[in-house]
Amino acid sequence: MRMSDMIEEFIKELFEEEDNDYIEIQRNDLAEQFNCVPSQINYVISTRFKPSQGYYVESRRGGGGHIKIEKVNVTKSNYLMHIIKNMKEKLTSLIKNSYAPYSNVHFACIVETKSGNFYSGVNVENASYGATICAERNAINSAICAGEREFSALYLMTDLDSIAYPCNLCKQTMLEFFDDKVLFNIMNTKGDMEVLSFKEVMTKIFSKGDLMWKVVL
């Protein structure tokens, strides 16, 4: 039996032993158990525990590579609702860290990589407006610093009354690393949401009409 098959079988056996809809594993511990490199574990999880196969994977950096694998209904609508609910909760918490004393408009972003990892960012404003960094670029740059180069999805939240799309600087960064398969989930704190392809996002504009500046006296 090949190593990949052995790892897959072991993970599926964990589901049976736990008698639960999800399991939590440590990538480094599993790699040590099978005497393989951690990237071998990543490969098995990314190819054999995909949404189309009935699994949702959440990976966090640090702590030996903590991974949560959850069984989900594989219908597209149910899977999307599962992802959206999970990400909305994370973004709602993350947006509180946004630093926006000049516009008072807050953004939070999470990018998902093809390796199954998630990286977050918020907008960080500066008195020199040109030095402001958007949430999208902060999230993407965090992933790049961690060695990631391939992305599968982007989740963006704002506290504006309407949906707000990435600015042209962010789009330029996305063009450097994203392909046509990256899925965008753009929402606001009021519950409005759009699911768009990369090509669709590139046709959207972020204008002064979207950004309702609040003057701080």
Active centre residues (catalytic):
136
Three-state SS at 195: strand
Structure tokens at 59: 């990976």
Three-state SS at 80: helix
Cβ burial 153-170 (10 Å sphere, 16+ → b, else e): bbbbbbbbeebbbbbeeb
Convert 139-173 into a string of H (helix), E (strand) and C (coil). Answer: HHHHHHHCCCCCEEEEEEEECCCCCCCCCHHHHHH
Task: Please report, as a single letter, which amino acid is at residue 89.
Answer: E
Distances (CA, A) of 206 to 82, 167, 200: 28, 5, 13
Three-state SS at 83: helix
Quick one: 4 exposed, middle or buried, by C-beta within 10 A (0-12, 13-18, 19+)? middle
